[in-house]
Amino acid sequence: MATPRVILITGASAGIGRACAVGLSKAFPSAEHPEPLVLALMGRREDELKATGAACREGTVVEVLTGDVSSEADVARAFGTIKEKYGRLDLLFNNAGVNPLKGSALEDSDMDKFRKTLDINVMGAVLCTAAAVRLMKEQTPQGGRIVNNGSISASSPRPDSTSYTVSKHAILGLTRSTSLDGRKYHIAATQLDIGNALTDLSQGMGKGVPQADGSVRAEPLFDVNEVARTLAYLASLPRSVEVLHLEILALGMPYVGRG
């Protein structure tokens, strides 16, 4: 029996995480990649994770891992389950993230919420990356791929978004350090920066978003399933290839020359 391809998606209960889980289930196995697929779905809402699993292609093995990525104990339990049941991890998609201070000026920000943003967006990715590296170093064949959900904000922030922007700049550092330090273990790292994918949380952008000049303008959005197709592309690459940084954004969104 072929060794399964094991992929872990954090923040898999909705939005980009759910779309990517469903998209990967449709992309693998394939004629080019015939090995069976195991999708490990991590998030805090068990019912929603099960709903994501139910939406995946029939025959996909789905492992529901309820937990908070900012909790060391929850991350250790999730990765322990993957190691015990499957013995390997081929791809980690660090997707979990929050933005509770959207539209808040730094000087007026609730610092407890600021810390929460960093705990989930940064420390969640750090904890999962560390656990993934430990497993990828041990498995045979050694290595794997780690994809971090960045943001256009890692290059060009929106007004009044300091906590989220800081967190995504940190993800850029994590990605590059993982790429460098992972070389000797055959671990590749990618920062996938996403701009205006259409999810329940981003629908309002189509009506109006504050701009750097103080105006409010509607922004274009693109189908979130294109993010899933992009992740499937990264998952399909041979072990000898690394894509360090990739941006996918809605055509015409105010990013190039923004501000």
Catalytic residues: 164
Lookup: tokens for 248: 């996918």
Helix (H, G, I), strand (E, B), or coil: what is residue 92? Answer: strand
Quick one: which H or E segment has residue 251? none
For residue 13, the tally of other CB atoms under 10 A from its CB is 24
Interhelix angle 111-118/162-182, nearest 10 degrees: 20
The CA–CA distances, whole Å, from 12 to 32, 33, 137, 182 equal 26, 23, 25, 25
On the question of a cis peptide bond just before residue 210, with omega within 30 degrees of 0, the verdict is no
